[in-house]
Amino acid sequence: MRIARFSSGDDVGFGLVDTDAESGQEFVSRMSGHPLLGNIQLTGERAKLEDVRLLSPVLPSKVVCIGKNYADHVAEMKDVTGEATAEPVVFLKPSTAVTGPGDPVFYPAASSQVEYEGELAVVIGRMGREVPAERAGEMVFGYTVANDVTARDLQRTDKQWTRAKGFDSFCPVGPWVETGLTLEEASDLRITTTVDGQVRQDARTSALMHPIPELISYVSSFMTLLPGDIILTGTPAGVGPVEPGQRVSVAVEKVGELSNPVVTRE
């Protein structure tokens, strides 16, 4: 299932996104309740997807990010982030960085080198701590697409990543949560990033150095994961700069496509 969070007029809610078999038109059917709390039902209200505004599909208490998780990306970023490590590299983005599909990414005045990082994101569905890797699948509600926007110059000069990764709008997420994939399927998906239609990143999640079950187990070994939390699994090679006026699109096979314009805050 593709579960979206959307607004229509003054109303915000969750809905099930489907495609009409005959016309190819996409619709969203409103749900009652919260999908992460269970006991949801369709209300009977249905609208064309193009007539509603998609929002970030979840509002996480935290965004847990994994750095240096593709060998080719480690190689291209060696001068900034150093060599690969035996254990996953973990950092956090604040919840205020989260924004939705189509929303602008604001280019901060403090930076002169903002870069995209397309990623597969795991949405956590239940509370868990010290989760064994073999039970990691029980923690997964679904998968979505994310862009770990980074002020690369600040990452380089600060020597740690909080400011460079944490600006408002620096974590676009969406367009929905795909709940129908198994861990095995999610472990081999194509991920591409384009800037104004030109391909900049093209890889598969099978190249992850630390696979999804290991990431869930590792992160939960030192922090409690809550329903709605997001784990960004890392970005492949091909990261690079974007400028105001450009549009970044990240697509993950079988999940969806997330697209955001880059703008200067007025």
Higher pLDDT, 168 or 71: 168
> What was the pLDDT predicted at 12?
94
- H helix or E strand, kind and range, residue 203: strand 198-204
| Half-sphere exposure at residue 97, Cβ-oriented, CA atoms within 13 angstroms | 25
| Half-sphere exposure at residue 204, Cβ-oriented, CA atoms within 13 angstroms | 7
Residue 77 banded pLDDT, cuts 50, 70, 90: confident
Q: What is the pLDDT of residues 192-238, one digit of tens each?
A: 999 999 999 999 999 999 999 999 999 999 999 999 999 999 999 99
Which residues are paired to 2 by β-bridges? 17, 178
Read off the pTM. Answer: 0.95
> What was the pLDDT predicted at 74?
87
Q: Which two tokens stand for residue 250?
A: 């990240």
28: left (phi over 0), alpha (psi -120 to 50) or beta: beta
The residue behind tokens 């900049």 is 200
Q: Which two tokens stand for residue 172?
A: 């676009």
Query: Which runs of consecutive H residues, i.e. helices, occur in 22-119?
Result: 71-76, 78-81
Q: Which two tokens stand for residue 59?
A: 């509002």
Neighbours of 46 (CB within 10 A): 13
> What was the pLDDT predicted at 210?
96
Of 156, 161, 154, 158, the closest CA to residue 78 belongs to 156
Query: Is residue 53 scored above 80 in pLDDT?
Result: yes
Distances (CA, A) of 33 to 17, 154, 252: 16, 41, 28
Cβ within 8 Å of residue 181, ≥6 positions away: 142, 143, 254, 255
Give the strand pairing for 2-8 and 171-178.
antiparallel
Average pLDDT value for residue range 19-44 = 88
Is the link from the previous residue into 261 a cis peptide, with omega within 30 of 0?
no
Averaged confidence pLDDT in the chain = 94
| Cβ–Cβ < 8 Å for 26, 39 | no
Distances (CA, A) of 234 to 75, 126, 143, 205, 215: 14, 22, 14, 9, 10
Q: Which two tokens stand for residue 96?
A: 């205020």
Q: Which two tokens stand for residue 140?
A: 């997964």
Query: Is residue 72 scored above 80 in pLDDT?
Result: yes
90-99, 155-164, 223-232: least confidently modelled range: 155-164
Distances (CA, A) of 121 to 61, 85, 136, 225: 15, 21, 14, 14
Which amino acid, one-letter code, is at 16? L
Give the strand pairing for 256-264 and 105-107.
parallel
